[in-house]
Every structure is written in C-alpha cells, then in structure tokens.
Amino acid sequence: MKKPQYLSLCGIDEAGRGPLAGPMVFAGVILTKEIKGLNDSKQLSEKKREGLFDEILENSIHKIVFSSSQEIDEFGISYCIKNSLRIITESLEASQYIFDGNSSYGFSIIEHMIKADTKVPSVSAASILAKVSRDRYMCEIAKLYPQYLFEKHKGYGTKEHTDLMEQYGLSPIHRVSFKLKKKVVEKSLFD
C-alpha cells in the first residue's frame, strides 16, 4: 500500500521574527491525517487557531523550536533562523521540506515558497503551531511583566507597546538588538 503523500512532506513556518520582545518560534509538521480548515494562522481567528492546535498535535509528527530574545540578541536573527531549520530537519525525517518565505537560508534540502502557509496544508499547520505556541508563551510571560500588556500585542511594535517601552524601559524579554524608530528611554528592568 502506498504511503499518503502528506506523510513524506514536512511543512515549516515561524512566528515572531519581527517583534520587539519575546521569542521567535519555528514549527515543523508532517501531517499523519488530513485536517479540515487549515490556513495561514494570521487568517484564522484566535478561537479557530486554538481549536486546530490540539488537532494538529494529535495528527502529526512535529517539532517546535524556540529562540529566546537573548539568543536573538547574542547570535542574530539569521543564525537563529538557520539553527531552527537545522533542528527541524534533523528531528523530522521527510522526503520534502517546504518553508514559508523567500529563502531556504542555504539549506539545499529545503524548498521555499512564498505564501506556502496558504497553499500547503502541512505549512499551514506549522504556522498554527508556531503562532499558538508563541502567543501562549507571551500570555504567560505577561504575568511577570504586567505593565507591558504582552497578552494584548504579543511583543510586536504597536504604538501601545512602544509607548509602554518609553514609560518603563526594557524588560528582560525585550530584544535589545532591535532598534526602534523613536528613541526608547535608556532605562531597563535589568538595572
């Protein structure tokens, strides 16, 4: 009996490449069963993403990789992307790897495809795992730093967030290597 094609395809996507705070999260997913309703995580409501999250976990072989804000600051975003891709390809054996975006970051075994998260079910599933994992982390960390309202903006550079950064300085989960267009007061919770 021939293996279903989706068993040999690993979809890869990330969440949190551009925020000013928090981790970047990559996910690799090999679906073991067809899942209805998959799409780019940004196109789905939070409720729909949360509902699909457990279904994906139950019907896939997957790997989720976190790069902390400290790792991003120390090694750079490109290094963290390449390291996450390396961990996923070493952890998940597939005949094909598709990464959402316009670069394979030097990995000859990875194909890249713009908007793959809307075209390839396993990439859509990876998008959902990465985003929900990161959002849940940001809601948990918000309890430690309630003044930043991380549960609302998830660390992205919204006006509300940058205003709070100006007011309170940087928390330990802010990316100090990411520069703001407007100056954030030189104070920090590290002090």
Asked if residue 165 is part of any domain, the answer here is no
Burial of 157 (0-12, 13-18, 19+ CB in 10 A): middle
pLDDT in tens, 65-109: 999 999 999 999 999 999 999 999 999 999 999 999 999 999 999
Asked if residue 178 is part of any domain, the answer here is no
Q: Tell me the pairing of strands 9-15 and 24-31.
A: antiparallel
Give CA 147 to chain center in angstroms. 24
Asked if residue 120 is part of any domain, the answer here is yes
Structural domains in the chain (count): 1
Asked if residue 164 is part of any domain, the answer here is no
Asked if residue 23 is part of any domain, the answer here is yes
pLDDT in tens, 122-152: 999 999 999 999 999 999 999 999 999 999 9
Asked if residue 148 is part of any domain, the answer here is no
Higher pLDDT, 189 or 16: 16
Asked if residue 188 is part of any domain, the answer here is no
Asked if residue 25 is part of any domain, the answer here is yes
Segment 167-180 shows an average pLDDT of 90
Burial of 65 (0-12, 13-18, 19+ CB in 10 A): buried
Closest CA to 99 of 17, 183, 36, 184: 17
pLDDT on residue 4: 53
Give the residue numbers spanning the domain of 135.
5-139
CATH number at residue 38: 3.30.420.10
